[in-house]
Amino acid sequence: MSGDYRQFSPASLARYIDHTQLKAQATRGDLERLCGEAVSYRFKTVAVNPVQVIFCAALLNSARAAGETGPAICAVAGFPLGQNSVTVKTMEAGEAIGNGAAEIDYVVNLTELKAKNYGHVEKEMAALVELCRARGALSKVIFETCYLSDAEKRELCRIALTVGPDFIKTSTGFGSGGAVPEDVRLMKDLVGDRIGVKAAGGIRNLETALAMIAAGADRIGTSAGTVIVDELKQRLQD
């Protein structure tokens, strides 16, 4: 197994996890389950589409009123393609924050990146980061690494170091590939401790999650958070 599971408790591993439900066909029951699991396991956040923030905020506020420790809400913006204008992405993010989101994961415009229009990419990143900072929310920039060359990943990291988001993130989970340790390691090597790195996409078991953390991930985005933590509990008992 990549990484030593014995360095984690279930509680400490859970704090890495953004417990995720971003499917278009998600039902109210799915969202209720997501929030209930996030409260029970004490995950870092629940990650949902923007239109679901109000519903999830009500669920989590009810849990807090009952004395539970509720996770924050992470909302996506420009998701999953990133092919929205800067104006639309900032409006979407701002509305989500107003409705209760404490973190925003937005997708970069890969068309402009691949055209080497780095000015646009930096302007967009700055707009989202400044909005989040002004509203007291954390910002995460989704690269969608499966579509990028190493040179493009390096350029995005360079821009991120200039702009200063809270996190850079590998993937949406909707692309042709998800997180791999090599990309996490490259991103962490480039930004160091100045910016967090979130690994997401295809992380469905404990071994994969630990491999991402060993490579430098500070946060894990996954819809399999309960499976991962339960697997750790079982290994610690064996």
Q: From the candidates 44, 89, 140, 169, give the one annotated as an active-site residue.
A: 169
pLDDT 10s digits, 219-235: 999 999 999 999 999 99
pLDDT band at 3 (very low <50, low <70, confident <90, very high): low
Average pLDDT, the chain: 97
- Are 215 and 179 contacting, i.e. CB atoms less than 8 angstroms apart? no
Neighbours of 143 (CB within 10 A): 24
- Please determine, for residue 2, whether its predicted confidence score (pLDDT) is greater than 70: no
Please name which of 82, 65, 76, 142 lies closest in space to residue 103, comparing C-alpha atoms: 76
The answer to whether residue 4 is catalytic is no
Q: From the candidates 18, 89, 105, 153, give the one annotated as an active-site residue.
A: 105
Within-domain flag for 102: yes
| Residues of the domain holding 203 | 14-237
What pLDDT is recorded for position 9?
97
The answer to whether residue 198 is catalytic is yes
| Residue length of the chain | 238
Within-domain flag for 186: yes
CATH number for 194: 3.20.20.70
Instruction: Report phi then psi at 165, rounded to 5.
Output: -65, 165
What pLDDT is recorded for position 1?
47
Count of the separate structural domains present in the chain = 1
> What percentage of the chain carries pLDDT values higher than 90?
95
Within-domain flag for 6: no
Instruction: Report the alpha-carbon distance of residue 1 to residue 10 in Å, rounded.
Output: 17
Within-domain flag for 8: no
pLDDT band at 113 (very low <50, low <70, confident <90, very high): very high
Within-domain flag for 217: yes
Within-domain flag for 222: yes
Q: From the candidates 89, 140, 153, 198, give the one annotated as an active-site residue.
A: 198
Two structure tokens written together for 146:
């499966």
The answer to whether residue 105 is catalytic is yes
